[in-house]
Amino acid sequence: TPGLGLEGVVGEQRLRIGQPGFVCALSHCATADMPDEPGQWLLLGDTKGALAWLVLDDRLRTDAAALVAACKARGWRTLLLSGDSSPMVASVAAELNIDEARGGLRPDDKLRVLQDLHVQGRKVLMLGDGVNDVPVLAAADISVAMGSATDLAKTSADAVLLSNRLDALVQAFSLARRTHRVIIENLLWAGLYNGLMLPFAALGWITPIWAAIGMSISSLTVVLNALRLTRMPRQTPAPPTSDLRPLPA
């Protein structure tokens, strides 16, 4: 069940693991209170009641802070939308200096947040990797999936970070801005050249051979200007990290 957990049968025992409310609904018992210790807590239970708490600790990527800082430097508002309802959501947001964090969200809740932002006239870039992110990835103005994301998330996104490096996304921001600037330069040059040369050609002041030479020079200038985009600053790759690590019981 997206955003809630998993249900299955082991032997003759039906089990659920995931959100406390989802698990306790199987046995129709009161929802168990989540432990106070930090971490992403998952409840395991059967038709008789809760059986055990399991905890996962999300380890931040080494380049996550740089990505958030790059977004804020461009004047963007940053949001963290998570299905986790533990205090870890607020803790991660505070550590990364994220403007707003919301936890305990189902896929439709995340989609509703996106729709509210669109109503406000905002453009949204979504970065995600899980099945729960698929609706938002599909509806965002620009969506990016991690290279380690689920196949469904990748097919719903506009782009995929094959290297799993967030600093590649920071580089993409700069490249997009440079590309836009080069496109404007090329359009201005082409418009200026044609605007000046066409009247002269129509009046017969330019022979066909000089017109061909001039057009070739104009096209070569546009291509050479575009080739400036290939000169990108080298990025030092971040050391690989694991996204999840189990905590000892």
Say yes or no: 137 and 193 in one domain: no
HEC profile for 92-139? HHHHHCCCEEECCCCHHHHHHHHHHHHHCCCCCEEEECCHHHHHHHHH
In a domain, 237, yes or no: no
Select the more confidently predicted residue: 124 or 36: 124
* pTM of the shown model: 0.65
Say yes or no: 71 and 160 in one domain: yes
Residue-by-residue DSSP string for 40-64: EEEEEEETTEEEEEEEEEEPPPTTH
In a domain, 242, yes or no: no
Q: In terms of residue numbers, what domain contains 17?
A: 5-57
Say yes or no: 116 and 199 in one domain: no
pLDDT of residue 232: 62
Q: Which residue type is seen at 249? A: A
Q: Which residue type is seen at 125? A: L
In a domain, 243, yes or no: no
In a domain, 71, yes or no: yes
Say yes or no: 53 and 72 in one domain: no
Say yes or no: 178 and 222 in one domain: yes
Say yes or no: 142 and 184 in one domain: no
Q: Would you say 229 and 53 are in contact if contact means Cβ atoms under 8 Å apart? A: no
Burial class (CB in 10 A: 0-12, 13-18, 19+), 125: middle
Least confident of 34-43, 126-135, 187-196, 229-238: 229-238
The mean pLDDT of 176-185, rounded to a whole number, is 91
Average pLDDT of the chain is 84
In a domain, 77, yes or no: yes
- Please state the domain count of the chain: 3
Say yes or no: 113 and 156 in one domain: yes
Distances (CA, A) of 101 to 104, 111, 122: 10, 15, 18
Say yes or no: 123 and 202 in one domain: no
In a domain, 209, yes or no: yes
Domain boundary among 169, 192, 211: 169
Percent with pLDDT over 70 in the chain: 92
pLDDT in tens, 17-62: 998 889 999 998 888 888 877 777 889 999 999 999 998 876 788 8
Q: Which residue type is seen at 10? A: V
pLDDT category at 13 given cuts 50, 70, 90 is very high
Say yes or no: 161 and 181 in one domain: no
Residues 6+ apart with CB under 8 A from 234: none
Say yes or no: 226 and 212 in one domain: yes
Say yes or no: 140 and 183 in one domain: no
pLDDT category at 234 given cuts 50, 70, 90 is low
Say yes or no: 148 and 184 in one domain: no
Least confident of 49-58, 68-77, 116-125: 49-58
The answer on pLDDT for 248 being more than 70 is no
pLDDT of residue 92: 87
Using DSSP's 3-state secondary structure scheme, residue 85 falls into coil
pLDDT in tens, 79-114: 999 887 767 788 889 989 999 999 888 888 999 999
Domain boundary among 57, 80, 101: 57
pLDDT in tens, 212-223: 888 888 888 889
Which CATH number characterizes residue 161's domain?
3.40.50.1000
In a domain, 141, yes or no: yes
Domain boundary among 154, 169, 184: 169
pLDDT category at 238 given cuts 50, 70, 90 is very low
In a domain, 248, yes or no: no
